[in-house]
């Protein structure tokens, strides 16, 4: 998902690990590419309601969508790719039950579960690479 917003707001993505984002400043605009969804609350930005609404209005999203609920902006990538695999019927029954308990559709539950593991693995890999660089004088 590609997000364009005023450059003065680019700092809000600083806590997103580098492997999940890229930020490019072009004049007074920031172009941010995000691999995953992102949300930010008005209180986290210390903004007044009107300023926060102006912030929301300044965001342009391609290959995704933006929403404003209460005092939170959410950016979500468009789901255009499919992933298909076969599993034992007993495993499917367990996954369906877990999805039901989480109040999520089966596909949302599976996506969130897979992404949680993916984020964990990629963060761990990035941290190990960073520590190798620090150890080897890089």
Q: Are 36 and 118 in contact (CB under 8 A)?
A: no
pTM of the predicted structure, to 2 decimals: 0.75
Which residue, chain included where needed, has tokens 């034992």?
88
Which residue, chain included where needed, has tokens 């990035």?
126
| Helix, strand, coil tally for the chain in percent (to 5) | 50, 25, 25
Cα 137 versus chain centre, distance: 32
What pLDDT does residue 135 have? 62
Answer positive or negative: Cα dihedral of 74, 71, 116, 138.
Answer: positive
What pLDDT does residue 128 have? 87
| Per-residue pLDDT tens listing for the chain (138 residues) | 999 999 999 999 988 888 788 999 999 999 999 988 999 999 999 999 999 999 999 999 999 999 999 999 999 999 888 999 999 999 999 999 999 999 999 999 999 999 999 989 988 888 888 888 766 555
Q: How many CA atoms are closer than 13 Å to the CA of 13, on its beta-carbon side?
A: 28
What pLDDT does residue 76 have? 94
DSSP label of 17? -
Cα 25 versus chain centre, distance: 20
What pLDDT does residue 28 have? 96
| Residue 107: closest CA among 129, 130, 124, 84 | 84
């Amino acid at each position: 998902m590609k997000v364009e917003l005023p450059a003065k707001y680019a700092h809000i993505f600083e806590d997103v690990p580098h492997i999940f984002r890229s930020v490019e400043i072009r004049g007074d605009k920031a172009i941010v590419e995000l691999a995953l969804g992102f949300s930010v609350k008005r209180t986290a930005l210390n903004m007044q309601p009107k300023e926060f609404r102006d912030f929301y209005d300044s965001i342009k999203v391609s290959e995704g969508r933006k929403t404003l609920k209460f005092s939170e902006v959410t950016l979500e990538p468009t789901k255009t790719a499919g992933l298909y695999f076969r599993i034992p019927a007993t495993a499917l029954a367990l996954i369906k039950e877990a999805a039901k308990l989480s109040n999520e559709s089966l596909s949302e539950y599976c996506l969130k579960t897979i992404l949680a593991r993916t984020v964990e693995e990629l963060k761990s890999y990035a941290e190990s690479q960073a520590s190798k660089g620090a150890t080897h004088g890089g």
